[in-house]
């Protein structure tokens, strides 16, 4: 299937052509008009980081609310509103900054009732996170970059160079060219996976189950998928629930993953970015949820086979890997681990993984023109 029509914007990003024709974009906070009142579309990692950046760097700006198509409520002390509920924010907001860079066609539909000239696709947070990290890195950063690169295959080295050499606008242009040439438009945890038929997959961070279905198709009717999601089966979409009930070989664990068993605060943003609060100030809106280590779970269940561990756990990847050492040593699964939930994670997660795993082949790939949806894959030799 051919990739969706796209074009390159002035900042090197790949846009859905229909959305690009309708909305503008913001690359730097200084481009936002003085004194503007804003709504941030997407209470994801980038949306929350953008909120903090605005508070720290643009005291003249006011963030009125977050917008999220999945639930109402409150996030970081601000209202969390549905984007179609324009009556609750349209009079108060001068500009909507869209931070969710996937599914832009769906976002455009949700914002159809709002004036298009007051909507901007925001890359401000992505650019600054990269820029700040490349300029203010620890002394050993270059050593880590070089060591990780030495452990990657040739394809992974090419992508790694794009992500790490300065990580400035030129890098983003190079990343855009890579995506245009490869035709990759959506995060794919199975991009580098070997044979999984009849196997066992541990899905860490299942969220609404959209990828659990792909895993189910990969293992077939005699395989097995174990999905960890703090909200459990209730978080799954109706389509996924139907498939899970029909096939019966998906086990949904209502728990998060961590380095050890216990209980942690959990925040559900509703926008494919629910997260366990593993640092920072306590969140009064968060719930307490059980967390398991992979080693503890595997031992308890007596698993003798594990073909793939997928981790997309909103910045907790290193902690989860610390709790999977024995499992990886004994069962030798493939791994697909996200590395984009914070500027430092682009380096620290691969650095941790390539040192932890012995006799593995590593590669990295990316599925977003601004460096999000980046993955490291590990395959046992």
For the segment 255-296, what is each residue's pLDDT rounded down to a tens digit? 999 999 998 877 655 444 454 555 544 454 557 889 999 999
Q: Is residue 56 part of a domain?
A: yes
Is 163 inside any structural domain? no
Q: Residue 240: inside a domain, yes or no?
A: yes
Average pLDDT, the chain: 80
* Residue 9 is assigned to a structural domain of this protein: no
Out of 100, 122, 144, a domain closes at 122
Judge if 366 and 229 occupy the same domain: yes
Domain end residue (candidates: 122, 152, 183): 122
Are residues 312 and 222 part of one domain?
yes
pLDDT tens digits along 45-96: 678 878 888 888 889 999 999 988 877 788 888 888 888 887 788 788 899 9
Residue 140 covered by a domain: no
Structural domain of residue 47, as residue ranges?
14-122
In a domain, 322, yes or no: yes
Residues 115 and 220 in one domain: no
What's the CA gap between 153 and 322, in Å, rounded? Answer: 24
Close Cβ partners of 172 (under 8 Å, ≥ 6 residues apart):
11, 12, 13, 127, 130, 369, 370, 371
Do 246 and 358 have their domain in common? yes
Report the CATH number at residue 80: 3.40.50.720
Q: How would residue 307 be classed by pLDDT, with cut points 50, 70 and 90?
A: very high
Question: pTM for this one?
Answer: 0.70
371 & 225 share domain:
yes
Region 141-151: what's the mean pLDDT? 88
CATH number reported for the structural domain that contains residue 327 in this entry: 3.40.50.150
Q: Of 92, 122, 152, which residue sits at a domain end?
A: 122
Look at residue 139 and tell me if it is in a domain.
no
Cross-strand bridge partners of residue 62: 37
Please check whether residue 161 lies inside any domain of the structure. Answer: no
Mapped onto helix, strand or coil, the DSSP state of residue 74 is strand
SS3 20: helix
Rounded to an integer, what distance in angstroms lies between the CA atom of residue 283 and that of residue 90? 28
- Give the strand order in the sheet containing 119-122: 24-26, 119-122, 95-98, 37-41, 62-67, 78-81, 73-75
Cα distances (Å, whole numbers) of residue 302 to 13, 115, 145, 305, 306: 47, 57, 38, 9, 11
State how many domains the chain has. Answer: 2
């Amino acid at each position: 299937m051919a990739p969706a029509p796209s074009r390159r914007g002035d900042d090197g990003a790949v846009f859905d052509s229909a959305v690009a024709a309708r909305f503008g974009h913001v690359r730097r906070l200084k481009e936002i008009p003085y004194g503007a009142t804003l709504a941030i579309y997407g209470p994801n990692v980038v949306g929350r980081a953008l909120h903090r950046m605005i508070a720290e760097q643009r005291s003249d700006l006011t963030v009125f609310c977050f917008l999220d198509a999945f639930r109402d409520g409150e996030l970081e002390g601000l209202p969390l509103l549905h984007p179609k509920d324009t009556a609750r924010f349209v009079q108060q907001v001068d500009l909507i900054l869209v931070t969710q860079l996937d599914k832009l066609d769906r976002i455009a539909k949700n914002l159809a009732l709002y004036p298009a000239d007051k909507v901007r696709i925001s890359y401000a947070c992505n650019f600054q996170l990269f820029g700040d990290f490349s300029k203010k890195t620890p002394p050993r950063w270059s050593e880590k970059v070089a060591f990780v690169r030495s452990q990657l295959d040739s394809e992974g080295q090419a992508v790694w160079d794009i992500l790490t050499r300065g990580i400035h606008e030129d890098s983003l242009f190079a990343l855009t060219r890579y995506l245009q040439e490869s035709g990759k438009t959506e995060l794919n945890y199975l991009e580098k996976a070997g044979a999984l038929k009849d196997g066992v997959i541990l899905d860490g961070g299942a969220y609404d189950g959209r990828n659990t279905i792909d895993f189910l198709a990969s293992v077939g009717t005699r395989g097995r998928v174990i999905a960890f999601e703090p909200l459990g089966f209730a978080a799954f979409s109706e389509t996924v629930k139907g498939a899970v009930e029909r096939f019966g070989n998906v086990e949904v664990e209502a728990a998060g993953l961590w380095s050890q068993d216990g209980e942690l605060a959990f925040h559900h943003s509703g926008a494919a970015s629910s997260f366990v609060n593993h640092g920072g100030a306590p969140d009064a809106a968060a719930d307490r949820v059980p967390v398991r280590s992979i080693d503890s779970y595997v031992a308890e269940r007596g698993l003798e086979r594990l073909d793939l561990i997928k981790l997309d756990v909103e910045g907790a990847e290193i902690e989860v890997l610390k709790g999977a050492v024995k499992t990886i040593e004994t069962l030798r699964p493939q791994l697909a681990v996200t590395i984009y939930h914070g500027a430092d994670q682009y380096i620290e997660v691969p650095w941790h993984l390539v040192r932890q795993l012995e006799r593995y082949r590593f590669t990295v790939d990316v599925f977003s023109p601004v460096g999000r949806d980046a993955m490291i894959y590990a395959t046992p030799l």
